[in-house]
A = this chain, B = another copy of it.
Amino acid sequence: MSFVLSLEAAWRDAESLLCVGLDPDPARIPASLRERGDAIFEFCRAIVDASAQYACAFKPQIAYFAAARAEEALEALIEHIHRAHPGKPVVLDAKRGDIGATAERYAIEAFERYRADAVTVNPYMGFDSIEPWLAWKDRGVLLLCRTSNPGGSDLQALDVGGERLFERVARLAAQRWNTNGQLGLVVGATFPAELVRVRELAGELPLLVPGIGAQGGDIEATVRAGGSRMLVNSSRAILYASGGEDFAEAAARVARQTRDALRAAHGARR
């Protein structure tokens, strides 16, 4: 089954646009877990199990695992998600970008080693840096388009002949580059007007939208701008809803509230 079809099933089954981001910062893992050798895995597993019913997908951020020499925890975590929560796609947030044989190695890392259903990819190197990923026909590739950080404007907002660079990326991803329907885009919730514009250009493409929660993006504005084919990501607001031993319950509560706010915003939009 293609990534887009899996995602559509997950949206339907969970009635949720919430994607739970898994960015385990060792310094913020509750004390009771921190002593354990598998603290990162156990922390993320508890968050996943507590929030799964409110989420359509999970998004582990590989940098947190790599900095902690915790590749095995990431492998085990994604395996756990596939086994315990089948049908919830896993987006590996890796923002890779390279060419030819090297891009293929990164695809093997993401799709075979970690068994991710989709991956985030940086488009700066152009289509021949994206094409190698597309050989895995049942997986998705989410291209950075308009990122949620202020400095995203440095290059992405430059005028490239009547449109901004991120608009060009959106058009290429919706048309010429999307040779097998595997592409989606990453667009920050912190710029709703630009999210509207990407949605116009990208048609039905799935959008991964970080920036609500800790980064301050507004849920209603996001849903008004981006519609229903979105993975609206929240990481820190859920992971660290409580720093205490009740972290999983607190994460579930914030995940449910976020899902409900997304639902309400979606209902108001219709």
- Residue of B95, B126, B161, B168 near A98 (CB, 8 A) is B95
Query: A243 at interface (Cβ–Cβ under 8 A)?
Result: no
Query: A228 at interface (Cβ–Cβ under 8 A)?
Result: no
Min CB–CB distance A216 → chain B (angstroms): 13
Contacts of A159 in B (CB 8 A): 160-161
Cα(A23)–Cα(B61), bound, Å: 24
- Given known pairs A97-B122, A126-B149, the reply for A113 and B158 (CB within 8 Å) is no
Q: Are A147 and B122 in contact, CB atoms less than 8 angstroms apart?
A: no
CB closest residue in chain B, given A63: B105
Cα(A153)–Cα(B123), bound, Å: 11
Which bracket fits the contact residues of A?
35 or more
Query: A102 at interface (Cβ–Cβ under 8 A)?
Result: yes
Cα(A154)–Cα(B176), bound, Å: 11
- Residue of B69, B108, B150 near A128 (CB, 8 A) is B150
Cα(A95)–Cα(B154), bound, Å: 18
Query: A25 at interface (Cβ–Cβ under 8 A)?
Result: yes
Q: Are A165 and B160 in contact, CB atoms less than 8 angstroms apart?
A: yes
Cα(A71)–Cα(B153), bound, Å: 34
Cα(A168)–Cα(B112), bound, Å: 37
Contacts of A161 in B (CB 8 A): 158-159
Q: Are A109 and B66 in contact, CB atoms less than 8 angstroms apart?
A: yes
Q: Are A105 and B67 in contact, CB atoms less than 8 angstroms apart?
A: yes
- Given known pairs A71-B71, A95-B96, A151-B99, the reply for A66 and B129 (CB within 8 Å) is no
Query: A193 at interface (Cβ–Cβ under 8 A)?
Result: no
Contacts of A112 in B (CB 8 A): 67
Contacts of A109 in B (CB 8 A): 63, 66-67
CB under 8 Å from chain B, chain A span 91-122: 95-103, 105-106, 108-109, 112-113, 122
Q: Are B125 and A149 in contact, CB atoms less than 8 angstroms apart?
A: yes
4 closest A-B pairs by beta carbon, nearest first, are A126-B151, A126-B154, A128-B151, A63-B105
